[in-house]
Structure 1
């Protein structure tokens, strides 16, 4: 299996969910703080996980799923923060590669300047920025207790709303399992719009 096939597999939320809770947990952890994992699914992975639990496809209690993914989101962001704090200068000077784009770091910095510390909560719902925000917080040496507070609150809101929302739809509308691809397209459309809008705003500035 070459690198492109690995990336394709890791980017497929249905494949990840089918692999079980530990695979989902690892992806959530990686996507929330490892700069080379920015391409992994985030929002729609959480939502579909909730749907699959609600419909019984995933045989886990919803409380267990919420706890695992909340911890993964918090620890992932904490990893990114610590990486930024101790190795951030190397990342800022790093040239673009297939797994790292300087523009993602620049757009995240712009987002921080606009929203301040609350960006750590808002950015949970924004692809790419969600991955780089903890790293940038570490680079800027944000006060640790302050960062931890926003990290925990952001993780709880992000996981709770998306997994909880997906679970509700799975329980109340079990037929949604037959339209998973439309759910993915919906989230991808939002993601694309957000990224393009953010890039255009950054370029104009």
Structure 2
């Protein structure tokens, strides 16, 4: 005979970490905090769906998640999202400070390597403060920039001030955006999958723009040589 505890454990073991609805159904508000921490503080979390998870969680706080078996409260959700995002970034910075460039050098993922290159470009182009804030809104880069800032010895006070500012705007902003949409449009949860798709697509725009510029620059160099 299958017990309720066994059913709960099996549902958590079967969770799809790339699906915000699956994560929220299995772990609720606690899962949001853990994912925020892992995505911003641990290099292994670069693939996690931070943007779409925050937006979806906020949307489901309006009661639209009843059909998904999800019941979230906005207050605890905002706290979990903010604490996870801020603590994760600070942890990533400290790991980078201690391990140096070796931490990133050991990464074999192409996406991590590209993210590290883009994070370094952000720091060089915009300076510490602006780069730390902007990185929050770029997938993979927000994972890599924190340990990179530590490895490059960005002043701890500078990093902390601006990662808190960027982290709060990112985590609370996306959560409240989802909540606002869910509050203003009845039965918006019916369109949850397309909405998540839009969020993912929007979050990938900076990467697409960068890739296009790189290809144009490479084509220009090749043309000049020809």
Whether TM exceeds 0.5 here: the answer is yes
Question: Does the 8 Å contact 2:63/2:71 carry over to 1?
Answer: no
Give per-residue Cα distances to partners, 1:14-66, cap 9 Å, x unaligned: 10111211112111110112111111001111011000012253434312211
Number of the residue aligned with 2:4: none
Please state if 1:128 is matched with 2:143.
no
Q: 2:117 aligns with which of 103, 106, 116?
A: 106
Over aligned residue pairs, what C-alpha RMSD do you find?
2.2
The number of aligned residues is 199
Number of the residue aligned with 1:148: 160
Q: CA deviation at 1:202?
A: 5.1
TM-score under structure 1 length normalisation: 0.88
The more displaced of 13-22 and 59-68 is 59-68
Number of the residue aligned with 1:180: 192
Number of the residue aligned with 2:31: 23
Question: Does the 8 Å contact 2:42/2:88 carry over to 1?
Answer: yes
1:92 and 1:25 mapped to 2: Cα distance? 24
The more displaced of 58-67 and 32-41 is 58-67
Number of the residue aligned with 2:126: 115
SS of the equivalent of 1:127 reads coil
Number of the residue aligned with 1:44: 52
Question: Does the 8 Å contact 2:119/2:141 carry over to 1?
Answer: yes
Number of the residue aligned with 1:71: 83
Greater relative contact order (Cα 8 A, min sep 6): structure 1 or 2?
Answer: 1
Question: Does the 8 Å contact 2:81/2:172 carry over to 1?
Answer: no
Q: Which has the larger radius of gyration?
A: 2
Q: 1:34 aligns with which of 42, 49, 62?
A: 42
Give per-residue Cα distances to partners, 1:122-142, cap 9 Å, x unaligned: 111111111111111101111
Number of the residue aligned with 1:11: 18
Question: Does the 8 Å contact 2:16/2:22 carry over to 1?
Answer: yes
1:67 and 1:112 mapped to 2: Cα distance? 29
Where structure 1 has 5 or more consecutive residues not aligned to the other structure, the ranges are: 1-5
1:139 and 1:172 mapped to 2: Cα distance? 44
Q: CA deviation at 1:70?
A: 0.2
Q: CA deviation at 1:146?
A: 1.3
1:183 and 1:142 mapped to 2: Cα distance? 37
Where structure 2 has 5 or more consecutive residues not aligned to the other structure, the ranges are: 1-12, 219-226
